Amino acid sequence: MARPFDSSTSGDGPPRRVIVTGFARGIGAAIAEAFAARGDQVVGLDRLADEAACTAARIGATAVECDLSEPDAVDRAMAEAIDRLDGVDVLVNNAGIFAIRPLLDISADDWDRMFDVNVRSMLLATQAGARAMIDGGTGGRIVNMASMGGKDGAAGQAHYAASKAAVISLTQVAAKELGPHGITVNSICPGYVLTDMGADTRTDEMVAEWSSLSPLGRCGEESDIADVALFLASRAASYLTGQAIDVSGGMCMR
């Protein structure tokens, strides 16, 4: 028998069954850790098998290797994750790639690769997760990682910005179709976030320039995004759906 969905952010409620894509490092790892710290059961999907295994061991989660650019791999990994959890209450579609390339230099392959990972994998994971939530009859939460670039794309980011705009639109349509099943769907739009992945290439001058774009005078941290993901999966956000929430320190206001 399906148990009632409990979206409390406190540790007092029963553990939720959570799937996080792209969870080996960075924002995905921070989100997975936040849910695990609450006592939730977490399964993470990532192609970086060794790093994902380390993250899983550190936070008490389970890792499933998956190249999210491959449709069959997404289907298999989602089925395995749902089977391991015996269902799913929360799906966080975090996996994504980023690249800078002038508009006139973007190839068809560049474009397809960006959309394969950033949008198509999200569609497929959402389909599998939503079907499991509907079958369970208890509703659920889906959180999609977009970007402030999906609202205000920068030069050199045409394919990335377009993919994140697609994420925002996908979120809105999914919210309309899945709402009758008690499933909320929202997206997060981070600004500049200081992740370990970019630590080797950024300079103090770059960080200062990015920080100056925020009225708060700083760049984001991984925990800033994880906190919002946790909120969107909580009871406090039960009447919030179809939204693209800026978590950019005011760098983007729309």
Residue 128 token pair: 């599998």
Amino acid letter, 243? Q
- Tracing tokens 């695990």 back to the chain, one arrives at 36
Percentage, residues of the chain above pLDDT 70: 93
Domains and CATH numbers, the chain: 17-246 (3.40.50.720)
User: In the predicted model, is pLDDT for residue 9 greater than 90?
Assistant: no
- Active site residue ranges: 160
The answer to whether residue 135 scores a pLDDT higher than 70 is yes
Which residues have a Cβ under 8 Å from the Cβ of 113 and sit 6 or more positions away?
69, 97
Cα–Cα dist 51/88, whole Å: 23
Ranges assigned E (strand) in 52-174: 62-65, 90-93, 140-145
Give me the torsion for CA of 61, 62, 67, 70, rounded to 10°.
-110
At 5, the pLDDT band (50, 70, 90 cuts) reads very low
Amino acid 192: pLDDT: 80
Q: What is the pLDDT of residues 34-65, one digit of tens each?
A: 999 999 999 999 999 999 999 999 999 999 99
Task: Output the CA–CA distances (angstroms, integers) from residue 49 to 22, 66, 87, 88, in the order listed.
Answer: 11, 8, 23, 22
Residue-wise pLDDT tens digits, 49-108? 999 999 999 999 999 999 999 999 999 999 999 999 999 999 999 999 998 899 999 999
Q: What is the pLDDT of residues 182-235, one digit of tens each?
A: 999 999 999 888 876 566 667 888 888 888 888 888 877 889 999 999 999 999
Q: What is the pTM of this model?
A: 0.91
Per the prediction, the chain carries an average pLDDT of 91
